Structure 1
Amino acid sequence: MKKTTLRFATVAAAAVMLLGTGAARADLLKDIREAKKIRIALDTGSPPYGFVNEAMKPVGSDVETAQMLAQDLGVALEIVQTTSPNRIPFLQTGKADIVVASLSVTPEREKVIDFSTPYAQILAVVAGPKGVTLNGFDDLKGKRVATTRGSNNDKVVTTGAKDAQIVRFDDDATLVTAAVSGQANIIATSPAIVSTVMLKSPQKDMVTKFTMSTVPLGIGLRKNEPELKAWINDWVTKNTANGKLVAIYKKYHGS
């Protein structure tokens, strides 16, 4: 009888501990405010969303978005440098509290993380030399197409152009370098990256050939963080209505 009672007490205590742990994990907003700091994963190798300027400071539309979010939350911003393949793992492993890194909202990603109300949109396009005819996925058959590993562009072009030779680079900065150097003449990416390639190498005469998809961008959060998600959704809604998020996007993307 004593052993049974003791065993029951032990199980009950463990259950209480687990419940307590769950409650703590479900209140990341409180933890952030108490720490007076929010860790935001940003990709500073993905212009114009994130890059390093001449003064060696991180800038870009996502960087300014993250800075404004931290300021309005009343905490310091700690930038956690990430790349496209690491954005979700950094979130899941607790290396970052949220992700603001041109993270497109997809059904697959929604299975493992939560998203805020979309704060911007992004086009997934195929770009190539002006004189080459590329009107759709069928025209990519047998061609070498470069993209950024783990990005939505990677997913869309891999699904749509099944007969193309897909070459993957680890981040947008490396993809840009490959395009500028001539390693990649056809790329599946965003219009911003195409503009960056042309800015660095106008003689490439690279133009957008067709749009693969249009998807919303959301701020990534871990599952089961209702308080933080509600605060961010309210923040996005307010700053979309007052034009602040629109102004940031227009500043860096021109539209």
Structure 2
Amino acid sequence: MKRPALAALLATACLLAPGGARADLLDDVMKAKKIRVATDLAIPPSGMMDPSLKPTGSDVETAQLLAKDLGLELEFVQTTGATRIPNVQTNKADVIISTLSVTPERAKVIDFSKPYAALQSVVGCLKSIDAKGWPDLKGKTIAVSRGTTQDTTLTNMKDRDLKITRYEDDATMVTAAVSSQADCVATSATIVNQIGAKNPARAFEPKVPITAFDLAMGVRKGESRFLDTLNAWIAANLKNGKLNAIYAKFHGSELPPEMRS
């Protein structure tokens, strides 16, 4: 983001509310000169640790770019799918940037930014398994990460006769698939394709689409000025191509055209 554009964005976002209202989250973050970002570092390629044990991934680089543009120190608050929302609700983190898909249920307890990325959610199985639709998955055990949209979606499919095994996070779910404890998983298409990289003898592939989700940043309810700042930043970095470049670097494909336009 060019300096003049960034300066204008911050000048607008940081204006005090009429009547000298109490400091809000944006004031707190700018005063602390630090932004605390809840990110799962065990869900490659969105969040992971590199060989030097430094955080990397598409969500990590998104958070790093956000902090840099806002002139803030970045602190990662490590999280799992189940603890992302509680982290911002209890003020342990300022914002969630962690493959957080937008759902009506979540919108009741947190506020979402504009989408900054997208996620194709699927049921993936061993390549040897012949599964082209939901009837082919009847009676099969499907591993999910607890608290994710995949967990919620499959749990609500009571007429499908699905057997669901829940794991505490994506890392343990992937380990279960790699170590022959699970032959099917419900997660992102990106993670499905990576299972074989960990164990070539157990290559998985996407079998049945679940849905495509918009991924957004999440903040606690009522922080409109902070949310406006995030939305302005996302819009600018979708327009200039930086968010698309981050996504393509780690996921091997570009963001949907309608998101980039």
Query: Does the alignment reach a TM-score above 0.5?
Result: yes
- 1:197: which partner in 2? 195
- 1:171: which partner in 2? 169
Read off the aligned partner of 1:87 and give its amino acid letter: R
Does the CA-based 8 Å contact 2:144-2:150 persist in structure 1? yes
- 1:13: which partner in 2? none
- 1:51: which partner in 2? 48
Query: C-alpha deviations, 1:48-94, integer Å up to 9, x for none?
Result: 01000100101000000001001111110011000000000111011
Deviation, 1:196, is 2.0
Query: C-alpha deviations, 1:108-145, integer Å up to 9, x for none?
Result: 00011000000011011011122322222222221111
Any runs of at least 4 consecutive aligned residues in structure 1 with deviations exceeding 3 A, and if so which?
none
- 2:212: which partner in 1? 214
Extract unaligned runs of 5+ from structure 1.
1-22
Q: Are 1:149 and 2:146 counterparts?
A: yes
- 2:68: which partner in 1? 71
Q: SS at the partner of 1:249?
A: helix
Read off the aligned partner of 2:161 and give its amino acid letter: D
Structure 2 Cα separation of the partners of residues 24 and 39 of structure 1: 21
- 1:105: which partner in 2? 102
Query: C-alpha deviations, 1:148-207, integer Å up to 9, x for none?
Result: 100111112222364111000111111111000000111111112112211111111311
- Count of residue pairs the alignment pairs up: 232
Q: SS at the partner of 1:103?
A: coil
- 2:114: which partner in 1? 117
- 1:234: which partner in 2? 232
More helix by share: 1
Structure 1 Cα separation of the partners of residues 67 and 190 of structure 2: 25
Deviation, 1:30, is 1.1
- 2:252: which partner in 1? 254
> What TM-score do the two structures reach when normalised by structure 1?
0.88
Does the CA-based 8 Å contact 2:197-2:203 persist in structure 1? no
Matches within 5 A, 1:181-196: 181-196=179-194
Q: SS at the partner of 2:114?
A: coil
Structure 2 Cα separation of the partners of residues 159 and 197 of structure 1: 26
Structure 2 Cα separation of the partners of residues 101 and 133 of structure 1: 32
Extract unaligned runs of 5+ from structure 2.
1-20, 254-261
- 2:89: which partner in 1? 92
Q: Are 1:40 and 2:55 counterparts?
A: no
Which sits farther off after the overlay, 222-231 or 193-202? 193-202
Q: Are 1:137 and 2:124 counterparts?
A: no
Q: SS at the partner of 2:109?
A: coil
Give the aligned CA root-mean-square deviation in angstroms: 1.1
- 1:20: which partner in 2? none
Query: C-alpha deviations, 1:201-223, integer Å up to 9, x for none?
Result: 11113111021100100000111
Deviation, 1:227, is 0.7
Q: SS at the partner of 1:55?
A: coil
Structure 2 Cα separation of the partners of residues 250 and 129 of structure 1: 26
> What TM-score do the two structures reach when normalised by structure 2?
0.86
Does the CA-based 8 Å contact 1:124-1:191 persist in structure 2? yes
Query: C-alpha deviations, 1:11-37, integer Å up to 9, x for none?
Result: xxxxxxxxxxxx536x21111010000
Structure 2 Cα separation of the partners of residues 156 and 83 of structure 1: 18
